[in-house]
Amino acid sequence: MKVPAYLQKSIREKGGLNPHGLPNFRVIWGGDRFTWIGGKWNHHDDSGNVIGSHIGLERVHKHPEAKDRWILEVWCPPENYGSELVWETMFTEWIDGQKVETLGPFPRQGEYEIVKVIEREYRDSKGVTWKKEFVPLTPTICDAIVDTAIRNRDLPERIKKEAKRAMFAEQEKAEDDKLCDKIRKIEEARPEWAKNEHVIMPSDFEISKFS
């Protein structure tokens, strides 16, 4: 199933484009979303009996639990997945003497990851989901989930900025407290005659008499 062009345009305008000119956010039909998985795969006949197997990559549904749902995804840059060396170390296995990339090739161009399955959930009094229903993709729903995703994406950066501002404010307050403490100690060390609250400064004429 295809997302209507006008909704694709709206999502693109709201979420912006990644360095490759593709939308940062996209909505896709779960049944059309595939990925590569490596392993040992059995072959079955019409009765379900295993008649053979092979080792290698297979193109499978990325979100098998949501094949009949609309899904909102966000593009993630390659650095989100670590280095190619780490990827190879973590997601490579030897099966019957054959090297297999269990999660497919390293995503050098980045990859789209799930943000939300668009569906209606029914929960009991304890918050446990007991039923889920299909929700059609309408402009209102599409705008709402994309706007929420964008706000959540920007939230960590805003939190960092607020934390920095709070840290600077605390530092300034600490410096002010130190300064006030120094002034207080200086005042306490002054002789009694110098602690007069009303100090009268001599005039320039009086000063000139002692110059």
pTM for the full predicted model: 0.69
**Count of residues making up the chain:** 211
**Residue-level pLDDT at 202:** 53
Report CA 94 to chain centroid distance, whole Å: 33
C-alpha count within 13 angstroms, C-beta hemisphere, residue 43: 6
Give, for 133, the enclosing helix (H) or strand (E): strand 129-134
Evaluated on CA atoms 166, 169, 173, 174, the torsion sign reads: positive
**Domain assignments of the chain as residue spans, ordered by start:** 5-138
DSSP state of 198: S
Q: Does an H or E element contain 192, and which?
A: none
The pLDDT tens digits along the chain (211 residues) read 899 999 999 999 999 999 999 999 999 999 999 999 999 999 999 998 999 999 999 999 999 999 999 999 999 999 989 899 999 999 999 999 999 999 999 999 999 999 999 999 898 888 888 899 999 999 999 999 999 888 887 655 554 455 455 555 556 666 666 766 766 776 666 666 555 554 455 555 554 555 4
CA nearest 3: which of 32, 24, 28, 25? Answer: 28
| Dihedral angle of Cα 11, 20, 91, 71, to the nearest 10 degrees | 10
